[in-house]
């Protein structure tokens, strides 16, 4: 984890200061809305900031700490961020003006980048083998305005639980959730992110008797309610977190979003840099190894930004 955060810190420093506009002229200052500092979005975003700053003329990009998907989309819509990481389910809600969003949000996609894995982490000594067993327990659903909270609530409901009354609910970031398990102030927490997530690697190292729940039993209900955006993904716990066993969990695609008003050439340049600097990004986090132009275009129901669409068309 220390090595990853060191790389990110270097990336952010290299990227310079954020703010400013994101038009097509010179002097672009791009703010990348990511997530918590021990999550994959922030690590990945720091690497992307470095590559955009180094490879697009007159551009300085920075990665900003946020609550992730929901907040990121709101930042894009308000002009306070220029690139944002989001789960595809949250992005779908945004463009349709559903659930968390009271109106359709003015965002478009530049790429699908990798899949998130739902982590349901249970503290040492807590008796739980499935999501329904969390009833009556102290559980963090993730921070407010996060994609994690969207998935956590839907998952609990699919397990027959009311997330507002059947658990003692907390809304903690990944950093805060990890510390709360260490301090024995929560029994479990939800986290939706890539593999590995640095905060969970840290927790597994200090609390090797922690466990993660298999959530495959709630997938069918989530799919029947919300569609095929939720998929089954397998996790080799030993290879990922040095913990015993394998499990199945609910997966959700991740997309990179931009305001629909972004200059076409800038969106093209961002998309091109993302894919052409894949090897450099993979050195920052292994999830970047999954970048693929064919998969990148699979962003429905969000529309591709015209600049990104032009890049994919050129790639054939």
225 and 132 assigned to the same domain:
yes
Among 252, 270, 292, residue at a domain's last position: 252
Is residue 1 very low, low, confident or very high in pLDDT (cuts 50, 70, 90)? very low
Dist CA 8 CA 46 (whole Å)? 5
Domain count, the chain: 2
Handedness of CA 132, 135, 140, 141 (dihedral sign): positive
pLDDT of residue 19: 37
44 and 98 assigned to the same domain:
yes
Region 136-160: mean pLDDT is: 96
Dist CA 186 CA 181 (whole Å)? 6
Tell me the whole-structure pTM to 2 decimals: 0.88
46 and 66 assigned to the same domain:
yes
Find out whether 99 and 226 touch, Cβ atoms under 8 Å.
no
Long-range own/partner contacts, residues 234-237 (CB < 8 A, 24 or more apart): 235/117, 235/195, 237/212
121 and 247 assigned to the same domain:
yes
CATH code of the domain covering residue 102: 3.40.190.10
Nearest alpha carbon to residue 176 among 36, 288, 303, 30:
36
Q: Tens digits of per-residue pLDDT, 72-122?
A: 999 999 999 999 999 999 999 999 999 999 999 999 999 999 999 999 999
Is residue 22 very low, low, confident or very high in pLDDT (cuts 50, 70, 90)? low
223 and 277 assigned to the same domain:
no
Residue span of the structural domain in which 141 resides: 117-252
Q: Tens digits of per-residue pLDDT, 210-245?
A: 999 999 999 999 999 998 899 999 999 999 999 999
56 and 168 assigned to the same domain:
no
Dist CA 72 CA 91 (whole Å)? 10
110 and 259 assigned to the same domain:
yes
pLDDT of residue 20: 40
């Amino acid at each position: 984890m220390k090595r990853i955060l060191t790389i990110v810190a270097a990336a952010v420093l290299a990227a310079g200061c954020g703010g400013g506009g994101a038009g097509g002229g010179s002097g672009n200052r791009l703010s990348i809305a990511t997530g918590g500092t021990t999550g994959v979005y922030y690590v990945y975003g720091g690497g992307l900031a470095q590559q955009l700053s180094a490879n697009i003329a007159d551009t300085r990009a920075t990665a900003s700490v946020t609550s992730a998907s929901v907040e990121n989309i709101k930042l894009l819509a308000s002009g306070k961020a220029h690139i944002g990481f989001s789960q595809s389910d949250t992005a779908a809600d945004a463009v349709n003006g559903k659930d968390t969003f009271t109106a359709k949000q003015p965002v478009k996609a530049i790429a699908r980048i990798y899949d998130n894995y739902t982590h349901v982490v249970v503290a040492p000594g807590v008796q739980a083998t499935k999501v329904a067993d969390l009833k009556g327990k102290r559980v963090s659903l993730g921070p407010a305005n996060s994609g994690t909270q969207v998935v956590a609530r839907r998952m609990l409901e699919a397990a027959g639980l009311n997330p507002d009354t059947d658990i003692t609910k907390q809304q903690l970031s990944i950093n805060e959730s990890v510390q709360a398990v260490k301090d024995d102030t929560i029994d479990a927490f939800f986290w939706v992110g890539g593999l590995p997530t640095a905060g969970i690697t840290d927790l597994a190292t200090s609390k090797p008797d922690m466990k993660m729940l298999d959530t495959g039993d709630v997938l069918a209900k989530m799919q029947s309610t919300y569609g095929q955006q939720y998929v089954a993904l397998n996790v080799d716990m030993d290879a990922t977190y040095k913990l015993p066993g394998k499990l199945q969990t609910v997966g959700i695609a991740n997309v990179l979003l931009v305001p629909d008003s972004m200059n076409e050439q800038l969106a093209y340049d961002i998309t091109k840099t993302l894919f052409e600097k894949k090897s450099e990004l993979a050195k920052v986090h292994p999830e970047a190894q999954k970048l693929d132009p064919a998969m990148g275009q699979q962003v429905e129901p969000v529309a591709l930004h015209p600049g990104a669409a032009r890049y994919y068309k050129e790639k054939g």
